[in-house]
Amino acid sequence: MSNSETLQNKEKELITWRIMPVTAADLPIAPPNSLGGAPFLADNQVWPRCEHCQTEMVLYLQLDLLPEFELPFEPHSHLLVFGCSRHMDPCMPPLAPALKGKLPENYREILPGDREYSQYKLLLNRPSAGRQRQAPDPHLQCLALTFVAEPEEITGEGAFQRGSEGPKLGGMPAWLQNPETYKCSCGSDMAFLLQIPADYGFAKLPEAPTQPNSYGDEYLFFLGNEVYILACQAQCQPDSLWPIAQN
Ligand SMILES: [Zn+2]
Ligand SMILES: [Zn+2]
């Protein structure tokens, strides 16, 4: 299929947005779309701390949801992905049958499974929440992000369809295991927002400590599991997001 045919069919096709880090030479000062960098938190939001070790978390990624992404969230909402540099065990899905895929009321604070403290913080702030630029994250190199639309490449059949690999926004998760769907505790459906591929390395600053269980010069999110971040379509609270980790 040629590029022009691809564009003509755009309305009918599922689009995914490839996330591309740009070179340091092109880096704007304090970009709002970045790996690492200076987080833009909402007014009155504070830099999240790990509940286990109380240290400030790493800002792995932040980005604005541009209107052209056509995601089922309020345009210009700002996504932030934080995690502890030392405590990043992936959380287990809450598969209690009684929940029927609905996350428990306390899913933002206490994780189902064998752990009772939060090691990560996922935020999706509405534009009306304001934004305050913080100091730069001291762990990771700041890389600005650009986005390129592509028709989603779907493989598999029926309930086992899977989308393309790589870092991306929207489209369909690449599902390394069975697809998972959830409802927020508020009752709204959760929609796929962001994919962080397996073993995706976030380049660390030279002076930052080496992350345990990673590759020396790079940090990993959730120990390098592939992560699919879902968000409540009602955006009922800024932290109504859920990370699915698969490998
Ligand atoms: Zn910690
Ligand atoms: Zn909700």
Q: What is the pLDDT along the chain (247 residues), one digit of tens a residue?
A: 445 555 554 446 899 999 999 866 566 677 899 999 999 999 999 999 988 889 999 999 999 999 999 999 999 999 999 999 988 776 665 555 566 788 888 788 765 455 556 788 999 999 999 999 999 999 999 999 999 999 999 999 988 899 999 999 999 999 999 898 999 999 999 999 999 999 999 999 999 999 987 878 999 998 899 999 999 999 999 999 999 989 9
Question: Per the domain annotation, does 181 fall within a domain?
Answer: no
> Which ligand lies nearest the alpha carbon of 51?
1
CA distances from 47 to 54, 148, 154, 181, 183 (A): 11, 30, 37, 29, 27
How many Å lie between the centroid of ligand 2 and the Cα of residue 233?
7
Question: Per the domain annotation, does 72 fall within a domain?
Answer: yes
> Which ligand lies nearest the alpha carbon of 233?
2
Instruction: Give 138's Cβ-side CA count (13 Å radius).
Output: 8
Taking alpha carbons only, the member of 48, 33, 93 closest to residue 239 is 48
Number of compact structural domains in the chain: 1
Question: Per the domain annotation, does 188 fall within a domain?
Answer: no
pTM of whole model > 0.95? Answer: no
Print the domain residue range for 143.
3-154+201-225
Question: Per the domain annotation, does 88 fall within a domain?
Answer: yes
Question: Per the domain annotation, does 34 fall within a domain?
Answer: yes
Question: Per the domain annotation, does 100 fall within a domain?
Answer: yes
CA distances from 228 to 10, 31, 128, 171 (A): 24, 23, 26, 11
